[in-house]
Structure 1
Amino acid sequence: MPVYTCTTTRSALTASTKAALAAELASIHSRVNHVPSEYVNVVFYALPEEDVYTGGRPAAPLIVDGWTRTGHPDEQVDQLVREIADAATRVTGVPAERVLVIIGNSPARFAIEAGRVLPEPGHEDAWVRDGTG
């Protein structure tokens, strides 16, 4: 259901750090938004150092761009973005000043997974259990 895209430079994260961050993002999202962690997708883009800039200068930020379904309470989204930012710093060692977390959303009906339109927030259990979407 949710997708998190983590972008940084090639040399910024090791394979084991990526695995640890992916596990942490899945855990946080699952707990905060009540979605089974096996539905949380995490993708890493590791770009050449000469392709990443902040303020017009070469940099190595960690950008975590997430997508969720519209309809989660604001408090949940606030908690999600804070916990993800904290985890990104804790797991990767990238300083908080270089971590950017963005959570965007759109209606559940704008996405299909496993051949089914995603459920509205709060209807995940039925969607997972019986596959009726």
Structure 2
Amino acid sequence: MPSYRVTATRGTLSPEHKVRLAQAITAAHSDITGADVFFAQVMFHDLESGDFFLGGTPVEGQQIFVHAFIRARSLELEEKLIARLLANTMETTGLPSRFIWVYVSDLPQELMIEYGHVLPKPGQEAKWKEGFSAVDLEYMQRTEYTRPR
């Protein structure tokens, strides 16, 4: 369901930063939207020097973009989410907010398929999961991660 793409200049995020940030993003999404943690996907992309420009000028130094692709939610909820994503990224990396840009893109659930099924409307996840086979349900729910330690 929610997919988070974290793009950063190479060297900005250590492997430990990535683990902690993935856990923080997952927890933020689950806490604010009520979605199960096993739905959250966090993908990291490192940009090489010369692959990242702002205003037509190469970026030198640290820069992070957190881009969330989520099912459409209320503006109030999304404002809470974006604020928490910024705070978590600042806390995890120690970078000031000017180096962290956060975006939330709404996607209608009818245009998303995960685990082989069109996604449900927010709040309808339990009914949606009733249509899964036992094998598919077990696959969907398996994860070692539950909450940040």
Q: TM-score, normalised by structure 2?
A: 0.82
Which residues in structure 2 correspond to 1:48-63 (within 5 Å)? 48-55=48-55, 56-59=57-60, 60-63=62-65
Q: Which runs of 5+ in 2 are unaligned?
A: 133-149
Residue identity opposite 2:40 in structure 1: V
- Does residue 26 in structure 1 map to residue 26 in structure 2? yes
Greater displacement, 100-109 / 89-98? 89-98
Name 2:147's counterpart in structure 1: none
Q: Give the distance between the partners of 1:26 and 1:127, measured in 2 at CA.
A: 21
Name 2:102's counterpart in structure 1: 101
Name 1:40's counterpart in structure 2: 40
Name 1:89's counterpart in structure 2: 90
Are the counterparts in 2 of residues 62 and 94 from structure 1 also a CA contact under 8 Å?
no
Residue identity opposite 1:105 in structure 2: D
- The one of 63, 67, 70 equivalent to 2:69 is 67
Name 2:146's counterpart in structure 1: none
Cα deviations across residues 77-125 of structure 1 (Å, max 9, x unaligned)?
A: 1100010011011111222111000000121010000000011112123
Q: Which runs of 4+ in 1 moved over 3 A?
A: none
Name 1:123's counterpart in structure 2: 124
Residue identity opposite 1:21 in structure 2: L
Identity %: 28
What is the DSSP-based 3-state SS (H/G/I as helix, E as strand, rest coil) of the residue aligned with 2:35? coil
Are the counterparts in 1 of residues 50 and 58 from structure 2 also a CA contact under 8 Å?
no
Gap change, CA 1:58 and 1:37, over 3 Å in 2: same
Are the counterparts in 2 of residues 7 and 47 from structure 1 also a CA contact under 8 Å?
yes
Q: TM-score, normalised by structure 1?
A: 0.91
Q: Give the distance between the partners of 2:112 and 2:42, measured in 1 at CA.
A: 16
Q: Which runs of 5+ in 1 are unaligned?
A: none
What is the DSSP-based 3-state SS (H/G/I as helix, E as strand, rest coil) of the residue aligned with 1:50? coil
Q: Give the distance between the partners of 1:126 and 1:86, measured in 2 at CA.
A: 33
Residue identity opposite 1:20 in structure 2: R
